[in-house]
Amino acid sequence: MTALSVNVNKVAVLRNSRGGNEPNVVAAAQAAITAGCAGITVHPRPDLRHIRPDDVLALAEITRGRVEFNIEGNPFAPARGAYPGLLALVEATRPEQVTLVPDGDGQLTSDHGFDLRRDGAALRPLIAELKARGARVSLFMDAGAEALEVAAEIGADRIELYTGPYAQAFAAGNAGQALARCADTASRAQALGLGVNAGHDLSQHNLLAFVQGVAGVAEVSIGHALFAEALYDGLHETVRAYLRILAAG
């Protein structure tokens, strides 16, 4: 069954909008774990717009030995202010997985994957450093991406399919081509020995079609839609609903 990793960034966004410690990021992660998720995901950014370094440390403690901890981030972003850099956070927390994402301050959210022909050589030593700290390394990639063989050559363990375009096509009622592109990319990655994760704008509406149409997805990371749905149905029941969908898929 495809594993569900719950991204708790949105809890931090709401907390930061008011200050203080409510809603509590750790409490939200605890609730998701109790409901049965397989992992917790965070994406700390240098501008501290949501998850902060202290959140990463706290979440590493409560996930250890219980579920996988996945830290997303741009490996090329330098330390800035309270942000110590991705490698330093990995060194301090030793997550099971690190997902490398080519994002910047100007992006509202992650909206494209790596160009491995351009970035592969620079990623290679960073991947080696992360793996030396015990992390499985996944690269955020567009469906239809070329040069997937570079991901395997530079030491990545998995790719994460950027599913934003699929979600948009699904909402418009014409997801066939986008889903086929995801399936083809996953198949090519798996043929190279890479595992396949997926994430971005997946929801209860489009997840079943995705996992039924894309074979062998190891993990989906879901945050924005999950917490939006949880406003109406509660966090525990929402996580359970996602798990039922993945079991059916």
Active-site residue (options: 50, 200, 219, 229) = 200
Active site residue 237: no
Active-site residue (options: 43, 160, 219, 229) = 43
Q: Give the strand pairing for 39-42 and 68-73.
A: parallel
Active-site residue (options: 22, 50, 61, 72) = 72
For residue 18, what are the CA distances in angstroms to 11, 44, 50, 232? 12, 19, 12, 21
Give the separation between CA 179 and CA 248, rounded to whole angstroms. Answer: 18
Q: Give the strand pairing for 219-222 and 3-7.
A: parallel
For residue 194, what are the CA distances in angstroms to 14, 161, 202? 35, 12, 21
Is the bond preceding 102 in cis, omega lying within 30 degrees of 0? no
Are the CB atoms for 68 and 41 separated by under 8 Å?
no
Active site residue 72: yes
Active site residue 200: yes
Active site residues: 43, 72, 200
